[in-house]
Amino acid sequence: MSSVKTVLASIRIGWYRDFGWTNPLTGFLMKTIAPVASVLSASIVYWLGSSAAGSFDPSHVSYIIVGAALYTHVAGYSWVPSQAISEGKWSYVFPQVFISPKSSTPFLVGRCLASFVTSALTSLISLAFAYYVAAAIFKSSIPFIVTPLSMSLLLGALLANVPATLGLGILLAAYTIFASKFEWALPTYVAGLLMVFSEALFPVSVLPWPLSAFGNVLPFTQFIRAAREAVVYGSVSAYSYYVGYSLLGGLLFLGVSLWAYRWAERQGRKKGIIDRKVV
């Protein structure tokens, strides 16, 4: 019960951290600009290449918009737990959370969930925005299924993906406990890896063998596939398969991450490295 309270409290801290420096609207707009731009970048790259090659296909634009919006979504909140730790090390918040006898996991989960909400909203906005802008600048109609069913399926996919992203977040947090340098550079790596390996912009089969297999088993790949089934292709049965995969795979991953984090936390306490600060 008390850990639920911790989660809720740290959700509030998370929102405050993200929006406290300005009014919520400005803060939210600032957070939306980046994903909108990166979704558009990817669609334009596809448009330019395929127009020149004579292979332009409007439905592939939907493919890319969904992929780009959702990989940035995952990237946007998966690194929050490790950010919470590295910032906390500086501001002495984390050592306080850490020295309390309870596990610090609920704190991290709360921070991550706070960002989930923000990131889900910004991704959906970038999705919609990119859809209109792409239709206008590519002068073609981009297929998208917008029905109550498809929207609920998309929402379902976003939720089913939470365990996997939390898993990634907690795993990175486990690393950050030990890292004393440059841990803030992790998000760029996470975003980059997701961009390449989660079938965000092109099928993983494009990658050379062991890499393609790696991309294929990622729950994030299944999540993006499920979302595409929901709003682009419209196959409910394929959707169910992918969502199931992403949820179960995610839960498995989360389990492993939690175990790794517990281990890291114990080591961290034993070695007293939690408040070590090196720029």
The count of other CB atoms within 10 Å of the CB of residue 167 is: 24
The reply on whether position 64 binds other proteins by CB under 8 A is yes
Answer for which of 91, 101, 270, 272 binds other proteins (CB under 8 A) is 91
C-alpha to C-alpha distance for 197 and 168, rounded to whole angstroms? 14
Size of the site for other proteins (CB under 8 A): 47
Give the dihedral of Cα atoms 9, 13, 14, 16; nearest 10 deg: 140
Which of the residues 23 through 62 are near other proteins (CB under 8 A)?
Answer: 27, 30-31, 33-38, 40-42, 44-50, 52-53, 55
Q: Judge contact between 74 and 161, C-beta under 8 A.
A: yes
The reply on whether position 137 binds other proteins by CB under 8 A is yes
> x/- binding map, residues 172-191, to other proteins, per CB under 8 A?
---------xx--x--xx-x
The reply on whether position 1 binds other proteins by CB under 8 A is no
Q: Could you please report the per-residue DSSP string of 61-125?
A: HHHHHHHHHHHHHHHHHHTHHHHHHHHHHHHTHHHHHHHSSS-SHHHHHHHHHHHHHHHHHHHHH
The reply on whether position 264 binds other proteins by CB under 8 A is no
Q: Judge contact between 230 and 160, C-beta under 8 A.
A: no
Q: CB-wise, 46 or 223, nearer to other proteins?
A: 46
User: Which residues bind to other proteins, rule: CB under 8 A?
Assistant: 21-22, 27, 30-31, 33-38, 40-42, 44-50, 52-53, 55, 64, 90-91, 137-138, 181-182, 185, 188-189, 191-193, 195-196, 200-203, 206-207, 278-279
